[in-house]
Amino acid sequence: MERRHFLIILIVFLAALVVAGVYAIVALNRKASVPPSALQHPGVAQQAKYAKGSIGFFYPSAWITNDIPASGDLISVQLMSPEDTIVFVASSDMKLNDYKVDGTLTSEKEVTIGGVTGKERVWENGKSQTVVFRADNLKFQDRFFRLELFTVQSRKVKAERYWRDILTTVKFSETVQGTIEANPQ
């Protein structure tokens, strides 16, 4: 059973790598950039904004966006770094879901993100050489939000910097217009 979970996680991770590779080739051909004057948050260089439902945040504009349609004001978005094997996922649901992560829990603490209190945890898996950062139990307007970042252990330091930079930009509000702005020039 444990081997099956490992294989599923490995297959999902490899599929994300393939998708990120394809997007990296496309992104390298476009070479879109944002002028420094357009930056609103100094921690996330050349940033784009994601806003939908009740949440908004900034992320690196070079990342590939896969905004998955969700019912109502729910969100499901996947953002991938085309060069660093880093995947960020933001999602919401009407009920609390605490999906199990395959690995060893290395950190767990209460956290406040965008004025909303929740739980922040980090898992590491030595077998698959992966790291998962998760902030969840974030309840706002009767919805539960989860933010996750996945990467390989060799990118942990860089991923943690992105994780912190993105979390500092998260804002929850009553009504957020659904937008994705990359502002390429």
Q: Identity (one letter) of the amino acid at 41?
A: H
Which helix (H) or strand (E) segment holds residue 1: the answer is none
Q: List average pLDDT for each run of 10 residues in the chain, which is 185 residues long.
A: 68 59 51 38 68 93 92 89 94 88 94 96 96 96 95 96 97 68 47
Hey, what are 106's tokens? 């290395």
Q: Tell me the domains of the chain and their CATH numbers.
A: 2-181 (3.40.1000.10)
pLDDT of residue 100: 87
Separation of alpha carbons 24 and 80, rounded Å = 9
Q: How far apart are the first and last CA of the chain?
A: 50
pLDDT of residue 19: 53
pLDDT of residue 98: 80
Q: Using one digit for the tens of pLDDT, what is the confidence trace for 140-159?
A: 999 999 999 999 999 999 99
Q: How many CB atoms lie within 10 A of CB 42?
A: 9
pLDDT of residue 8: 72
Burial tier of 106 (Cβ tally within 10 Å: 0-12, 13-18, 19+): exposed
pLDDT of residue 20: 55
